[in-house]
Copies of this chain bind each other. A is one copy, B any other.
């Protein structure tokens, strides 16, 4: 039994929750899914596993996966919420390209120290953080610059 599964089962037991087949399938699904995923991705993944967990159960299980420390809610791109695995993952933050939507991860140890200091100054007990840099990735920015040079963005840029 993986540590992942171990942690999930412990959490369930400590909270009088049952380790059902559906929850087993959902756990498997998120171990298979990579990087960033949506609710719908989880649902599609369990269907690939030939198990028919209902969408309602997917929604019901997400808070459990979060509270057991396996996944976290990461970015909110417009309407849909993005989740990602956090169990044993090194801490990192995100850059989101406003043009192509690509999500890039980065880590910055210096930032952590600053955040801890700030929390201490405000007597705030941190549990989690979200840092999101929004802008343009290398490729998209290159394209945009070209368009500007061709005079296409003149109106917007005044």
Contact = CB atoms under 8 A, between A and B. Distances in A.
A129 B128 contact: no
Interface residues of A, number: 35
A107 to B, nearest CB: 9
Contact of A134 (B15, B129, B137): B129
A15 B136 CA distance: 22
A135 B130 contact: no
A145 B137 CA distance: 44
A81 to B, nearest CB: 8
7 pairs of A and B residues whose beta carbons are closest in the complex: A126-B135, A123-B138, A76-B76, A127-B135, A125-B136, A130-B132, A131-B131
20 contacts: A14-B155, A14-B156, A95-B119, A95-B122, A106-B122, A111-B111, A119-B133, A119-B135, A122-B138, A123-B137, A123-B141, A124-B136, A124-B138, A125-B136, A126-B133, A126-B135, A128-B134, A128-B135, A129-B133, A130-B131
